[in-house]
Structure 1
Amino acid sequence: MARPALSHRRWPQPQQVSWRRSLTRFFLCFLAGLLLGFSPFLHVDEAQTAVSSSAADESPPPPPPFAKLATIPLWKRHGDAVHGGKLLIIVTPTYNRAFQALYLSKLGQTLRLVPPPLLWLVVEAGPASAETAALLRTTGVMFRHLVTGKNLTNNKDRGVHQRNAALEHIEIHHLDGIVYFADDDNVYTVELFQRMREIRRFGTWSVGMLSQGKSKAILEGPVCNGSQVIGWHTNEKSKRLRRFHVDMSGFAFNSTILWDPDRWHRPFPEKIRQLDSVKEGFQETTFIEQLVEDESQMEGIPDGCSSIMNWHLHLEAEDLFYPRGWRTPKNLEVTIPVT
């Protein structure tokens, strides 16, 4: 019996995809995503390149020859110096008397309003008192409490030796700033201390003066054309022989004149001090003659010297006692009738 013929039927095969084509598509998709992801950074790089090329085209000019970097003192590297500038060295003679606490407190509050840097040299006649030291600590002003080592009763000699003690202190320690003699019983404006920082060598200004028994104020100081000193105000005939008609509180000067004579071309390097051998009223002019040769080395402040920035008052009462510790030991024995 013949076997039936077998039919050979071929089953359909799944579609075959080349592995190379799949790999190529995967790589293209990956590359496209990578480029899209980095597109923001490419723009930043292009912008930076454009800025760099522009800056290169506009490069700053070279510095001038022999340019030097300014040497900044240590105190100028701190925030305080930003407000002030030059160091102010305020010299104040003081002595035990009834209104000493009032005067020192008043002056201390004024100095506290002056932008730093400021150093207050308070020079006391004779031994240092605990009351003065305690008051100075409450002012909030940087200070140094000095003494003369001499107990002088004469007002003229006392002030001279006290200021000389401060000058010696400045000279020994090479303090670099503007020196000003500020008596504790005078009246000062904050503007005066701000103007002092404009002084290069020696600055002067007009001072209003008032004393008991006088019906009008006296003006003493420079007559100026701008900042140039061309004359002097004076109302007292007895002072016509003075070379410079300036009050002790009417000038300030650069402290380096005291300890660096070569810088200022001083022909005589002797120590600069106030003299107690001259007549009263001549201490100012004989001292200034050691600092400058004539008016050409002076600076009138402010321009025109038309502002009165401080007053020299002579209102001290002679018969008032000095309370121990600046406190009265008991209440005043005064009976006030009640009506």
Structure 2
Amino acid sequence: MNRVLGGNLRKEILIISLVGLVFITFMFTTLILEEHWKLSERKYCGRLQEEIINSPEAYNQHTIHAITSTYTRLSQKADLTSLMQTLMHLHNFHCWIVIEDSDEKTALVTKLLKKSGLHYTHLNIKNSEQTKCVKHLQTTNAALAWVRKHIGPDEGVVYFMDDDNTYDLKVFEDMRTTKVASVWPVGLATDLIVEGPALCKDGKVLTWRAVWKPDRKVPIDMSGFALSAAFLRHHPDVYFIDVEPLESQFLADLGLTKDRMEAKANNCTEVNVWHTRTKKYIPHLEDEALKLGPEFNPNVEV
């Protein structure tokens, strides 16, 4: 009887030992395979990264610095929120330079920028009321001066963004390949459906679509061009001046001409930015609503 029990016990111990050995072998093999997979993945990612860096498309990774002048109005928060939501979708977006037409930074813009999660610089300066043609002359030039002082010569491209325009993400990807100065068509500009470069071939602009002052040296809207940071640094004394056409004179003072502009937007066959403008909103019924009492008029920022 004892021999039988002893034999059964030895069999159970043997079975348990075999099961444990199989389990340990399985776990050890799994760990080896996992480490091998991780090593292979790192090697693959390294090769992939190297291929990207060494490829012509690597030039597309240039950073973007966007300058936006803004001023207090009823639609300001709505306009800036729309623009902010667009910029949040961009990769390799380095800095949003927002400059207020104000003697001091406003709480509205400060809070909006803080919650955006974007890398930004918040500036302010009061525009002069003495300018004849350009309302945002001082703000734009102050932002331009900040760019020249703080952004290195090899740090991508600079783009001027109106706070109430509409932008397709593709316009930003296009400008990343800017060597000196790039250009593309702008929708809804200067009372036209589209203005700017019309017929383009092999990255060169052959004809320009412009009716308002068609003899402009570079007939383009502010949102229709981007400049390399290096190029701007090479022209430290060139700023916007109080003349019309503002953009064309600025580009001409930089030494740019129509034939030097680099055509983007699939050889100017696409419109990816629109010069939309928020119509001045007049709340005609607001006085009637205020008469309803405090329970109908909460103190809320719009």
The verdict on a shared fold, with TM-score over 0.5 as the criterion, is: yes
The question of whether the paired residues in 1 share the 8 Å contact of 2:59 and 2:176 is answered with no
Asked if residue 228 in structure 1 is aligned to residue 204 in structure 2, the reply is yes
Q: 1:314 to 1:150 in 2, by over 3 A?
A: closer
Asked if residue 202 in structure 1 is aligned to residue 142 in structure 2, the reply is no
Asked if residue 312 in structure 1 is aligned to residue 275 in structure 2, the reply is yes
Asked if residue 163 in structure 1 is aligned to residue 123 in structure 2, the reply is no
Deviations 1:266-292 (CA, angstroms, capped at 9, x unpaired): xxx56110011x13xx00100111234
Q: Which has the higher helix share?
A: 2
The 2-side partners of 1:88 and 1:191 are apart by 13
**Which residue matches 1:285?**
248
Deviations 1:198-233 (CA, angstroms, capped at 9, x unpaired): 11110000000168xx7xx52111131131011211
The 2-side partners of 1:130 and 1:183 are apart by 20
The question of whether the paired residues in 2 share the 8 Å contact of 1:227 and 1:302 is answered with no
State the SS of the aligned residue for 1:314. Answer: coil
The 1-side partners of 2:173 and 2:240 are apart by 26
Unaligned residue ranges in structure 1 (runs of 5+): 1-75, 77-81, 262-268, 324-328, 334-339
Matched residues, percent identical?
29
**Which residue matches 2:231?**
257
The 2-side partners of 1:210 and 1:221 are apart by 9
| Alpha-carbon shift at residue 258 of structure 1 (Å) | 2.3
Aligned to 1:189, which of 159, 168, 183?
Answer: 168
**Which residue matches 1:5?**
none
**Which residue matches 1:37?**
none
- How many residue pairs are counted as aligned between the two chains? 230
The question of whether the paired residues in 2 share the 8 Å contact of 1:218 and 1:235 is answered with no
**Which residue matches 2:87?**
111
Deviations 1:210-265 (CA, angstroms, capped at 9, x unpaired): 68xx7xx52111131131011211133xx123221100100000012222x2xxxx
Greater Cα shift, 132-141 or 142-151: 142-151
The 1-side partners of 2:156 and 2:236 are apart by 20
| Alpha-carbon shift at residue 177 of structure 1 (Å) | 2.0
Instruction: Please report the TM-score for the alignment, with normalisation by the length of structure 1.
Output: 0.62
The 2-side partners of 1:107 and 1:155 are apart by 28
Aligned to 2:239, which of 263, 273, 277?
Answer: 273
The 2-side partners of 1:102 and 1:89 are apart by 22
State the SS of the aligned residue for 2:254. Answer: coil
Deviations 1:74-121 (CA, angstroms, capped at 9, x unpaired): xx9xxxxx9972110100000100000001000000000011232100
State the SS of the aligned residue for 1:97. Answer: coil
Instruction: Please report the TM-score for the alignment, with normalisation by the length of structure 2.
Output: 0.69
The question of whether the paired residues in 2 share the 8 Å contact of 1:192 and 1:310 is answered with yes
The 1-side partners of 2:295 and 2:68 are apart by 31
Asked if residue 331 in structure 1 is aligned to residue 291 in structure 2, the reply is no
Amino acid at match of 1:253: L
Greater Cα shift, 177-186 or 285-294: 285-294
The question of whether the paired residues in 2 share the 8 Å contact of 1:124 and 1:148 is answered with yes
| Alpha-carbon shift at residue 297 of structure 1 (Å) | 2.2
The 1-side partners of 2:151 and 2:258 are apart by 26
| Correspondences of 1:1-339 after superposition (within 5 Å) | 85-126=61-102, 127-150=104-127, 152=129, 156-175=133-152, 176-209=155-188, 217-223=192-198, 224-236=200-212, 239-259=213-233, 261=234, 271-276=237-242, 278-279=243-244, 282-317=245-280, 319=282, 331=296
The 1-side partners of 2:215 and 2:189 are apart by 22
